[in-house]
Amino acid sequence: MEQQANREWKKHIIDDTWSQAHAMTMVDLNRDGKPDFLTGKRYMAYDHDPGAREPLGIYWYEFLPNEDGSVSWVKHVVDYSTRTGAVMQIGVVDLDGDGLLTSSRREKAEFSFFINSPERKRNMKFGANAFIRSDHFGPEQFPLLPRLKEAGFDGMELPLIEHPVKRDPQLRRELEGIGLECTFCAVLPQGFNTVSDDADVRARTIEHWKACIETVAELGGTILAGPLYAPVGYLPGRRRTADEWKRAVAMFQELGPVLDKYEVSLAIEPLNRYETYFLNTAEDAVKLCREVGHRRVGIMFDTYHANIEEKSLSKAIQTAGEYLRHFHSCENDRGIPGSGHIDWPDVFQALRRVDYDGWLTIEGFGFSLGALSAAVSIWRDLAQTPDSIAFDGVRFLREASRRAERNAS
């Protein structure tokens, strides 16, 4: 609350994406001479409030003055979706004498403390999507893998776009032999729809997702990303309905035990308005994840789609915040990252502010892949070759990442 010259008070909202904060303290956590907020969620403080049963979290909000005299509060996650929250006391003191403050708090479930470590270097991983070559990835594509490793990629993103789901144990052996990890992307095949009003379609769809999750684990992955709610290109000519939203929430909640069993996380991707009507923005994706309320259900952010739908990429990334599980690093025209008008320094600064340390995957598409190229509207060559999108792109992204780290230090 800000006191005005007339002695009246003006309300400023810092964060309305979670509820039931019971304790808060102001302290300079990052030693920049400015006060920061440290707070957290209490579990079921009042079980009738919105968000009462959502996961616990401990957060600090960094004080950043703007040029116009206003203040921005940047959210950082200390802990999320464990047994630790905040009740009535939050203590902050330099326990180990290293000049950095340590925080302790008591929740109904446990007493704990968190050590404020020195600034760490980001260790993001760089991936290439298999769509640069094909809509499937089999032995004929294996010669590409050593080239990816040599070019500086850490892993390959593999597609799961067919039913029944295909599993190739040889693929895992090839990846591990070369020293590459893998993530997975998925779209719904014809006849499957998470939000369908047909119960039989939904029943088939959840079994399909269970098979995909099992396949991801079997092939050594931990991330399944994509527009997991409806088929790409399904546009019924209206806005989504409340019933469709409830069906999506219910299905992702039902998948929770399967995700825990196989230690796989879902990264739900908002798409642009020309490819889906159901989920277009980071704000709506956060709302969906909050209502699902499972620690293994989060967001994939794609700069290509966000460039169309968001007012600001950096603000949208910060909105995704602790729900950010996967990241597609794509240029505004799906060409080589760095060759268009995406503000990459702004993107990397935002990723740093939300403490993102996961995958940066280049999703490029072959120019003549039939139905796949048509589905994503690739009607011309976007670079000299499809491979250029990946190989030139990773050089740019690695240097942009290093530059962002240097500028922050």
* Catalytic machinery residues: 269, 363
Q: How far apart are CA 341 and CA 381, in angstroms?
A: 18
Sign of CA dihedral 342, 348, 354, 360: positive
Q: What is the dihedral of CA 340, 345, 348, 350, to 10 degrees?
A: -110
Task: Count Cβ atoms within 10 A of the Cβ of residue 363 and give its class: 0-12 exposed, 13-18 middle, 19 or more buried.
Answer: buried
* Distance (Å) of CA 57 to CA 19, 46, 77, 223, 227: 10, 16, 8, 22, 26
Q: DSSP letter at 390?
A: H
Q: How far apart are CA 336 and CA 394, in angstroms?
A: 9
Q: Look up residue 147 and give its two tokens.
A: 């080239």
- In degrees rounded to 5, what are phi and psi of residue 164? -70, 160
Q: DSSP letter at 372?
A: H
Q: DSSP letter at 5?
A: T
Q: How far apart are CA 62 and CA 64, in angstroms?
A: 6
Cis peptide before 50 (omega within 30 of 0): no
Q: How far apart are CA 305 and CA 239, in angstroms?
A: 18
